[in-house]
Structures are given as structure tokens and as C-alpha cells.
């Protein structure tokens, strides 16, 4: 098509149909959202989750007779979390041009680093692994480098949403066991308040991480629905826990975790995928795949907007818009508290591509 147009017309043809946001504008809005969210997040993290992996727990009170498979699980948690420097450096590099996202990844990394140290303390204070053993294990782990599961930022962002939720779930179920609330008969009479507190403290961090990344994916979903839904489909199609290919005894760990009732494929379906889907206005995996397939059947006429309208049937965009609006209200409240609003307020800008629901006023 392009070669039959006179060369001068190529430049004159508007790249964005009138009334729609350009990609540059969308990127700017998403960047502002991330920056505001990052600032809010950091303040909150310091106020409410400023714990220390050594001082916040009474390590000497950790049971010396933990069931060996519980120690096995803790050791696996430690193995994954101790790749925090790799996770952080790769992700920082990927998003280095974004202030909000790259600074957030540093803050996030500093929290993940605490998780690694806390789980290592738990392994050591269990008394079931010698310091020499831990040192050698660590050396083995560190001889490998964790690399990004996907080459681009949007896929990695989506991956992190599922990963954080899955990690949180692992720790919550470990907490349940340590609180004596497991449904598994082997843990009927077992409890350990120190271990319960460790698992709970880290799970709260993971929930905060999940929320940050979730808000990010919602912004992408709102401004770039097609690209984002496609990334979600690709990520769930090949999801595995981070570092599962690097930890030398992963299979044994995964089986132990499964037998302990902590995490398995069903938990991923029900408590990770379905939860994230609900939070993103996606009905089910089937609805997602079906929607993407339908979108592709619609011809993408030049200058037309057919493709983008079809995509909005794939998810509950009204719910996502509501969530993105609420995120902006949260950011604006924070900015008012500080006084940023007087100088440079973050504003919500509607995506005009989003079709209005019947009965909804245009300025609603």
C-alpha cells in the first residue's frame, strides 16, 4: 500500500486517528501513573512494612524439631528469593528509562533481599542445616544467573503479577501450617509461632508487590488492551515459578510443597490465575483466548478502528477503567498531602477508544 502513495504523503498522513490518544501520549500517562504509584508505595512501605530480617523475629525460639519436609520447603523459598540481585538488575535494566518503574524495582529489590535473608535465617536457626552446608548451597545457586523470562517489558510486568500472587500464596499456606491451621493430617498437632510470623510478614510484602504490578497491568490494559491481553495469554500459557530451572533440586522441592498442601497446579488455576483474572476484569482463560481469536478475525482497515472495538468485548473494561480512576484518586490524595498537586499534579485521562456503555453519559 505504502509504495503507491507519493513519498510526501507518507509523512502527511496522521499516524493517530483524530480524537484518539497517540502511543506517545499513552506512554506518558502510564509513566505518570507509575511514578505517582511508586511514590505512594515507597511512603507506605516505610511506614507499615519496615521490618528487619534479623531483629523482627525471635530466631532462637524457632523450633528445633521442625518436620524435615518443612525445612525442605523453607530451603526452597530461600533458594528462589536469594536470586533477588539478579531479578532486580535485569528488571531495572529493562525499565531504566522509566523513573517510576526503575526506582520502584530498586525498592522492590530491597524488599526481596529481606525475604532471602529471613528465609536463610529460618534455615540456619532450624538447626537442620550446617552453616557449611548453607554456604555450599548458596555457592551452587549463585553459580547460575537468573534471566528475564520474556524479552519485553509488558510480558515481564504481566509475569510478575502472576509470580507475586503465586509466591504470596505459598507463604500464606506455610503460615497456615505454622499456625496449626493446615488441613493436612500430618500437621494436625504442629505449630511454630516464629515461623508463622516470618511467613506472614513476607506474605504481606508479596501482597503489596502483587498490587503494584497489578495496577501497572491495569493501566496497560486500559490504554493498550490488545497488546496486554495478548501478553496475559502468552504468560499463563507458559507460567513457571522464578528460578525453577536454576535451583538444582527443584523437582524435589516442588513435590514437597505439593504434598504439604502449600502449592500445586490446582492452586495456580484457582488461587492465582482466577484471582488475577478477576482483578483484571477477565472472566476466564477460555473467554480471554476466545476474545483474542475473534479480534484477529476482524479486518484491521487502514485508518479504521474496527480492531480496537472488538477487543473491548474480551474483558470488563468498565471495571478496569474504574480501577484506573481509583488508582489516580489514590495518587492525587497522596500528592495533596505532600503539596505536589500545587506544582505538578497527576491527572487521569480517559481513553477515548473505550466504547461507552449504553445509558452512560458522555462526560461520566
User: Under the rule (CB under 5 A), what is the footprint of Fe ion?
Assistant: 112, 115, 164, 206, 209
Report d(CA 346, CA 192) in Å as an integer.
46
3 secondary structure, DSSP code: G
> Grid cell 552453616 — which residue?
131
Q: Measured from the CB atom, is 229 or 257 closer to Fe ion? A: 257
Task: Give least dist CB 207 to Fe ion, A.
Answer: 9
Q: Measured from the CB atom, is 171 or 224 closer to Fe ion? A: 171
Task: Give least dist CB 108 to Fe ion, A.
Answer: 7
Determine whether 148 is exposed, middle or buried from the number of CB atoms within 10 Å of its CB (0-12, 13-18, 19+).
Answer: middle
Q: Measured from the CB atom, is 76 or 225 closer to Fe ion? A: 76
Is-contact 311 13, C-beta < 8 A? no
Helix then strand then coil, in percent of the chain rounded to 5, is: 65, 0, 35
Task: Give least dist CB 308 to Fe ion, A.
Answer: 33
Task: Give least dist CB 17 to Fe ion, A.
Answer: 40
Q: Measured from the CB atom, is 45 or 234 closer to Fe ion? A: 45
Report d(CA 201, CA 122) in Å as an integer.
13
Residues 6+ apart with CB under 8 A from 315: 221, 225, 229, 280, 281, 282, 283, 288, 291
Task: Give least dist CB 307 to Fe ion, A.
Answer: 35
For the chain, what is the radius of gyration of the CA atoms?
23
Q: Measured from the CB atom, is 113 or 341 closer to Fe ion? A: 113
H/E/C letters for each residue in 274-311?
Answer: HHHHHHCCCCCHHHHHHHHHHHHHCCCCCCCCHHHHHH
- Smallest CA-to-CA distance from 163 within 237, 242, 91 is with 242
- Smallest CA-to-CA distance from 276 within 160, 175, 363, 193 is with 160
Q: Measured from the CB atom, is 26 or 115 closer to Fe ion? A: 115
Q: Measured from the CB atom, is 268 or 315 closer to Fe ion? A: 268
Task: Give least dist CB 297 to Fe ion, A.
Answer: 38
Q: Measured from the CB atom, is 31 or 117 closer to Fe ion? A: 117
Task: Give least dist CB 221 to Fe ion, A.
Answer: 21
Task: Give least dist CB 164 to Fe ion, A.
Answer: 5
Report d(CA 170, CA 180) in Å as an integer.
16
Amino acid at each position: 500500500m505504502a509504495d503507491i502513495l507519493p513519498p510526501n504523503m507518507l509523512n502527511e498522513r496522521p499516524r493517530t486517528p483524530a480524537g484518539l490518544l497517540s502511543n506517545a501520549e499513552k506512554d506518558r500517562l502510564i509513566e505518570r501513573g507509575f511514578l505517582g504509584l511508586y511514590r505512594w508505595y515507597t511512603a507506605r512501605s516505610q511506614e507499615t512494612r519496615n521490618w528487619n530480617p534479623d531483629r523482627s523475629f525471635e530466631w532462637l525460639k524457632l523450633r528445633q524439631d521442625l518436620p524435615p519436609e518443612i525445612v525442605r520447603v523453607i530451603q526452597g523459598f530461600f533458594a528462589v528469593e536469594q536470586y533477588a540481585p539478579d531479578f532486580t538488575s535485569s528488571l531495572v535494566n529493562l525499565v531504566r528509562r522509566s523513573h517510576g518503574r526503575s526506582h520502584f524495582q530498586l525498592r522492590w529489590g530491597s524488599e526481596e533481599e529481606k525475604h532471602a535473608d529471613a528465609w536463610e535465617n529460618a534455615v540456619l536457626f532450624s538447626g537442620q542445616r550446617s552453616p557449611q552446608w548453607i554456604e555450599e548451597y548458596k555457592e551452587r545457586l549463585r553459580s547460575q544467573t537468573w534471566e528475564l523470562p520474556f524479552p519485553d517489558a509488558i510480558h515481564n510486568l504481566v509475569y510478575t503479577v502472576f509470580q507475586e500472587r503465586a509466591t504470596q500464596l505459598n507463604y500464606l499456606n506455610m503460615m497456615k501450617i505454622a499456625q496449626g491451621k493446615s488441613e493436612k493430617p500430618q500437621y494436625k498437632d504442629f505449630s511454630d509461632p516464629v515461623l508463622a510470623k516470618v511467613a506472614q510478614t513476607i506474605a504481606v510484602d508479596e501482597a503489596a508487590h502483587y498490587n503494584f504490578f497489578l495496577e501497572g497491568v491495569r493501566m496497560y490494559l486500559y490504554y493498550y488492551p490488545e497488546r496486554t491481553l495478548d501478553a496475559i495469554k502468552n504468560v499463563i500459557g507458559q507460567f513457571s515459578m522464578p528460578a525453577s530451572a536454576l535451583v538444582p533440586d527443584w523437582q524435589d522441592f516442588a513435590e514437597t510443597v505439593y504434598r504439604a498442601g502449600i502449592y500445586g497446579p490446582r492452586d495456580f488455576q484457582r488461587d492465582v490465575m482466577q484471582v488475577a483474572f478477576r482483578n483484571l476484569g477477565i472472566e476466564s482463560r477460555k473467554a480471554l483466548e476466545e476474545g483474542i481469536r475473534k479480534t484477529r478475525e476482524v479486518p484491521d482497515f487502514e485508518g479504521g478502528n474496527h480492531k480496537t472495538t472488538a477487543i473491548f468485548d474480551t474483558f470488563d473494561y468498565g471495571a478496569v477503567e474504574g480501577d484506573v480512576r481509583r488508582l489516580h484518586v489514590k495518587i492525587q490524595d497522596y500528592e495533596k498531602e505532600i503539596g505536589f498537586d500545587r506544582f505538578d499534579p497527576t491527572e487521569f485521562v480517559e481513553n477515548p477508544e473505550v466504547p461507552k456503555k449504553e445509558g452512560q453519559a458522555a462526560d461520566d
